Amino acid sequence: MVSNPRLSKLIASIPQQTAWLLSQPNDIRYFSDFGFLVPTEREALLFVSANHVGLIHATFSPVTGEPGISYYEGCHVTRLTTHLEAIREQSQFSNLLIDADTLFVSEYQILKKIKGLRIANLDHQLIWQFRMIKDEREQELMRQAGQITHQAFQALRPQLKAGMTEIDVKDLLEAKLHQLGSPSTAFPTIVAFGEHSALPHHQPTNKPLETEMSILIDFGATSDGYCADMTRTIWFGKKPAASFLEIESIVKAAYQAVIERMEMKNEDGDGERDGSLQKNGSVKGGDVERRGGRRQLQAKHLDYAARSLITKRGFGHEFIHTTGHGLGLDIHEQPSLNWKNTDPILPGMTLTVEPGIYLEGEFGYRYENTILITEDGGERLS
């Protein structure tokens, strides 16, 4: 009955007597192809059990009618009891797992009143296990988003002029994204001139661009909901500061070290052992994990590749964030490339690699691309 292979896989994983209630919009989209119109309103809830899939949706939402999904109109909390009765007539579940991070208290209070229903929190990690590995269609959309992002930056660069503000540059870049076919940005665009770039999350201001100044731009296109994420830091002028050139070479080397680490992910042989980063920023060698005689690349190994290089060059304390994160329909997905995450890095994952060094009061330098993990290493998408 169900034709969506993602949904079939999910159904197969759910035991009898149990239903999952999905409320995170991109989870619902992933498993049901439901197209959201209004990101700020509750527009859909998806019940999935072994023998019934019910999608409750807002009256204003267009539904395509996917095979194997029953649709229930009206998403307001006051309709929940009636819909749930109808759904339970189709599927006799007594355990309901909820996504506590995205279900509202008023919805929960309604569910709690239903007799014979045991409610527990769903571990969202179970959902990431599905969503982390992108299928071919998803990879193609991620590739499109990456290409649009790259092209928009190439088109912007020759048009940068002294006197433009950070907001001007943001507007120009977003207009280019739109022209190239991206209906929205993947996240709020960061444009930071000079010392503003020392704050990783700086938001554009009316600060004007001057010659001989650094510019950090962090942005991304979307393609059918899939996100790209790219950062470039460039020098506007002809005489880059010596400190800028030094930091640039370190960050780019750190980025390259991560890419190379991806490429030898199934190798056992270079003799170097991945170290483990301590909370105080120091690096301790050790902890190689093996599976079937081969080392399984983990998220923390990619972080280590970047962090150990930057730390050795003396800027470990100025690399104040993780090395990257998964992305897809959401801009921040699992796995996080942090110093302690042992999640395996597997083909089909899409990740950002984004080492950076931030010198307060001077400037920040970040270099970032969106990468698809392949059998051989990483394919750069942006």
Instruction: Choose, by CB under 8 A, the member of 16, 82, 94, 106 that binds a copy of itself.
Output: 106
Instruction: Choose, by CB under 8 A, the member of 103, 132, 148, 192 that binds a copy of itself.
Output: 103
**H or E element: which one contains 370?**
strand 369-373
**H or E element: which one contains 45?**
strand 44-49
Determine the 3-state secondary structure of 262 from DSSP: helix
Nearest Cα neighbor of 122 from 202, 14, 4, 44 is 14
Nearer to a copy of itself, 108 or 130 (CB): 108
| 39 touching a copy of itself, by CB under 8 A | yes
Q: How far apart are CA 368 and CA 353, in angstroms?
A: 5
| 60 touching a copy of itself, by CB under 8 A | yes
Q: Report DSSP letters for 157-221, one per residue.
A: GGG--TT-BHHHHHHHHHHHHHHTT-SSBSSPPEEEEGGGGGSTT----SPBP-SSEEEEEEE-B
| 45 touching a copy of itself, by CB under 8 A | no
| 40 touching a copy of itself, by CB under 8 A | yes
Q: Which two tokens stand for residue 69?
A: 């999904």
| 62 touching a copy of itself, by CB under 8 A | yes
* Min dist. Cβ of residue 124 to a copy of itself (A): 10
Instruction: Choose, by CB under 8 A, the member of 3, 64, 92, 121 that binds a copy of itself.
Output: 121
| 188 touching a copy of itself, by CB under 8 A | yes
Instruction: Choose, by CB under 8 A, the member of 16, 37, 157, 346 that binds a copy of itself.
Output: 37
Instruction: Choose, by CB under 8 A, the member of 17, 38, 126, 360 that binds a copy of itself.
Output: 38
Q: How far apart are CA 382 and CA 368, in angstroms?
A: 9
| 340 touching a copy of itself, by CB under 8 A | no
Residues 187 and 307: beta-carbon distance below 8 Å: no
* Min dist. Cβ of residue 341 to a copy of itself (A): 16
> Which residues lie near a copy of itself (CB under 8 A)?
25, 37-40, 59-62, 77, 98, 100-106, 108-109, 121, 187-188, 201, 203
